[in-house]
Amino acid sequence: MNERDSEGVGALLRSKGYVLVADEAEADIILINTCSIRGLAEEKAIGKADHLLRARREGKGAKFVGILGCMAQNRGAELLERLPDLDLIVGTQRLRHIPDYLSQRLAAPTPVAYVDTAHEEGFEDALPGRDDGRQVSAYVSIQQGCDMKCAYCVVPKTRGPERSRSPESILAEVRALAENGTREVTLLGQIVNQYGRGRFRTEGGISPFVRLLRSVAEVPGIERIRYTACHPIGYRPDLVAAHAEIPQLCAQVHLPFQSGSDKILRAMGRPYLAERIRRLAAALRASRKGMTLSTDVIVGFPGETDADFALTEAMFSEIGFEQAFLFKYSMRPGTPAEPLGDTVPVDVKEARLFRLQQQLAMQSTTGNLRQVGTVQRVLVDGPNRKGGRLAGRTENERRVIFDGDLSLVGQFVDVDIARAGETYLDGKLARTKSI
Ligand code: SF4
């Protein structure tokens, strides 16, 4: 979501004549789009801004420094206690006003920061645009905010209540992207598989989200559809069935289970039992050949015992997730879990995290090794970071590196997989077609 917001702000500023520079050292204006999901993310952003502002006091670097996004929304003017020289603090719903604030501030410099964390009605339908250049793969925001109350999560505070865009406005954006060469879209929302809740009705057992997926799949040129972030309660039978019915939907699904202990799930405010995750995983796997699953897990939530963690570890390996975001619990001020404190010692959290990381490495490597000898259809992203080769992704989000000409960037190619590691597949352009 932040990447999409940053892209929108960048496009907006370029439309007003600002120029994006490749090197931060050349920038006159630096806007840091921030995340609040963990304490570490906030501290990193504050450290970065502090470094830039110190340099400015010495007459070096950027002349204008601002903080945007979730931390701006979460902490607002309180940030000035840590960063008194900041120029701009703009929350998640007011990003489209940044050019106005910049021009006012640049025209009449004042020592007082602009702080805007207001709620803006209807902003989900008025997001900043995007650049005109061709994007093979694009993010499309379809929903903002979240009405769930997961005890550890700051998102309802930083992104506000759930609001879904209209299908017409989403489809117009997808059609424009497809006409410009986009082949893959990722539909974004904080709880994306509950899209439309409270605004559009489920009809004949088909949810607004599944109706939207069907419509997006009908847009000529769109060959892959992904969606994130999800909640297990949003995987109802119609969505599971959609993976069998809509060929453009990728055979990769995010099923964030967070904990394998029902006691901890209840304390987290997650309205499902571990058994439901097992059933969902089986149903999703059965819906589509080659389906892979990813997840999120938090270790060290207050009250998590060794026995609770053992249940998490068992579920993680039993379901065989191949990708995962694994976190140590980080207490966030203002969340429902704040009064519970942070009771699990850091070394215990680290040991639990390490065990899951080891397990993940094994599961990812095993999954990747199974692809050796197959032909994979790959959407080519661009040059590989090192070594003059190309990189792309399979529909399961596996990264593939291979030799090829830059003219292939943005195209689908078939790659014969010859080798695999924990995070990649390695192959060569195939003579046979993928299936
Ligand atoms: S559903 Fe996701 S975004 Fe919403 S409160 Fe829970 S973890 Fe946060």
pLDDT in tens, 266-309: 999 999 999 999 999 999 999 999 999 999 999 999 999 999 99
Residues with Cβ < 8 Å from 157, sequence gap 6 or more? 73, 74, 334, 335
- CB of 35 closer than 6 A to ligand 1? no
What is d(CA 58, CA 65) in angstroms, rounded to the nearest whole number? 14
CA atoms within 13 A on the CB side of 180: 16
CA distance 385 to 373: 24
pLDDT at 235 over 80: yes
Give the residue-averaged pLDDT of 386-409.
Answer: 93
Q: Which atom of ligand 1 is nearest to the CA of 146?
A: 4
Mean pLDDT, residues 385-399: 91
pLDDT of residue 332: 92
Ligand 1 contacts CB of residue 148 (under 6 A): yes
Q: Binning pLDDT at 50, 70 and 90, where does residue 116 land?
A: confident
d(CA 329, CA 162): 24
Q: Does the CB atom of residue 230 touch ligand 1 within 6 A?
A: no
- Which domains are assigned to the chain? 2-116 (3.40.50.12160), 133-250 (3.30.750.210), 375-429 (2.40.50.140)
- At residue 113 the predicted structure's pLDDT band, cuts being 50, 70 and 90, is confident
Q: Using the structure block, give the residue that is written with the tokens 């995007």.
A: 130
Q: Is the CB of 425 under 6 A from ligand 1?
A: no
Question: CA 31 to CA 79: how far, in whole Å?
Answer: 15
Backbone φ and ψ for 269, nearest 5 degrees, come out as 75, 30
- Please state which of the ranges 83-97, 242-256, 261-275, 308-322 shows the lowest mean pLDDT: 83-97
Distance 299 CA to ligand 1 centre (A): 16
What CA–CA distance (Å, rounded) separates 125 from 144?
A: 10
Q: Is 190 in the pocket of ligand 1 (CB under 6 A)?
A: yes
Output 416-420 pairs: Cβ under 8 A, ≥24 positions apart: 416/375, 417/371, 417/372, 417/373, 417/374, 417/375, 417/376, 418/372, 419/372, 420/365, 420/368, 420/369, 420/371, 420/372
Write out the two tokens for 109: 């410099």
Q: Whose CA is nearest to atom 6 of ligand 1?
A: 150
pLDDT-based confidence at 367, cuts 50/70/90?
very high
CB atoms within 10 A of CB 418: 12
Atom of ligand 1 nearest to the CA of 270: 6
In the numeric block, the tokens 């559809």 are attached to 225
The percent of residues in the chain predicted with pLDDT above 70, rounded, is 97
CA distances from residue 89 to 81, 220, 400 in whole angstroms, order as listed? 13, 40, 40
First to last CA, the chain: 32
Per the model's pLDDT, the better-predicted residue between 209 and 113 turns out to be 209
Residue 335 per-residue DSSP state = S
Which of 70, 147, 149, 190 gets mutated to test ligand 1 (max ligand atoms within 8 A of its CB)? 190
pLDDT at residue 432, as a whole number: 57
The pLDDT-based confidence of 105 (bands split at 50, 70, 90) is: confident
Residue 433 confidence (pLDDT) above 70: no
Q: Tokens 């003579």 — which residue? A: 431
Residue 107: what pLDDT?
82
Q: Which pLDDT score is estimated for 98? A: 92
Residue 30: pLDDT over 70: yes
156 Cβ closer than 6 Å to some ligand 1 atom: yes
What does the alpha-carbon distance between residue 415 and residue 403 come to, in Å, rounded to a whole number?
10
According to the model, what pLDDT value does residue 188 have? 95
Instruction: Output the residue whose Cα is nearest ligand 1's atom 8.
Output: 153
Q: Tell me the CB-side half-sphere exposure of residue 256, using CA atoms within 13 A.
A: 21
The yes-or-no verdict on residue 115 having pLDDT over 90 is no
226-255: burial string, b at 16+ Cβ within 10 Å, e else: bbbbbbbebbbebbbebbeebebbbbbbbb
Q: Please tell me if the CB atom of residue 1 comes closer than 6 angstroms to any atom of ligand 1.
A: no
Band the pLDDT of 26: cuts 50, 70, 90.
Answer: very high
Q: CB of 231 closer than 6 A to ligand 1?
A: yes
Considering Cα of 227, then 230, then 236, then 241, what sign does the dihedral take?
Answer: positive
pLDDT band at 434 (very low <50, low <70, confident <90, very high): low
Of 150, 235, 268, 327, the one to substitute when testing ligand 1's pocket (max ligand atoms within 8 A of C-beta) is 150
159-205 pLDDT, tens digit each: 889 999 999 999 999 999 999 989 999 999 999 999 999 899 999 99
267 in ligand 1 pocket by Cβ < 6 Å? no
